[in-house]
Structure 1
Amino acid sequence: MYVVLLAYTAPIEEIDYVLPDHAEWLTRQYERGNFLASGRRDPRIGVVIIARPMARGKLDAILATDPFSVKHMAAYEVIEFSPTRTAPELRSVNEAVAR
């Protein structure tokens, strides 16, 4: 699994202009089963995304298509982790404990 931290590098007014495109991109990723959760950081300095387990290269390719990435409006930090404990609601997406 991955936690992806996006930090805006553009003024918030420019972020707001691209936000509808980013929201459509997020919708496609949920439809494809790539993401489990996402939302704004508080304070509003970026976004947090939780991605399901996949090859790191695949995740990098997905993130490269985010409009914020395409327009160089955010910096991305990807944190890979292997959850050893999971709430019952998430066990089906945690390969480590689903076995």
Structure 2
Amino acid sequence: MFVVLLTYTAPIEEIDYVLPDHADWLTKQYEHGNFLASGRRNPRIGGVIITKPMARGKLDAILATDPFSVKHMASYEVIEFSPTRTAPELRAINEAVVH
């Protein structure tokens, strides 16, 4: 699984202009079953995405299609982790859980 930290590199006014396209992109990623959660960072300097388990190359390809990435408006820090404990609701999707 991955946690992706987005940090805006463009002024917030430009971010707000592209935000609807980013929201549409997020919707598509949820529909494809790639993401578990996403939202704004506080303070509003970027966002956070929690992914389902996948290959790092697949995630990199997905992130490259984010309108913020395409327009060079955000940087991405990708943190890979292997959950050893999860809430019962996540066990069905977490291939890394040790029982």
TM-score (norm: length of structure 2)? 0.97
Residue ranges of structure 2 left out of the alignment (5+ in a row): none
Question: How many residues are treated as equivalent by the alignment?
Answer: 99
Kept after mapping to 2: 8 A contact 1:22/1:66: yes
Q: Deviations over 1:26-49 (max 9, x none)?
A: 000000000000000000000000
Distance between the aligned counterparts of 2:63 and 2:56, measured in 1?
11
Distance between the aligned counterparts of 2:52 and 2:98, measured in 1?
13
Q: Deviations over 1:70-93 (max 9, x none)?
A: 000000000000000001111111
Which SS does the other structure have where 1:49 is aligned? strand
RMSD of aligned alpha carbons: 1.0
Residue ranges of structure 1 left out of the alignment (5+ in a row): none
Which residue of 1 is the match for residue 35 of structure 2?
35
Distance between the aligned counterparts of 1:94 and 1:80, measured in 2?
13
Kept after mapping to 1: 8 A contact 2:84/2:98: no
Kept after mapping to 2: 8 A contact 1:7/1:47: yes
Percent pairwise identity = 86
TM-score (norm: length of structure 1)? 0.97
Pairwise CA distance, 1:9: 0.3
Which residue of 2 is the match for residue 96 of structure 1?
96
Kept after mapping to 2: 8 A contact 1:22/1:68: yes
Distance between the aligned counterparts of 1:95 and 1:47, measured in 2?
25
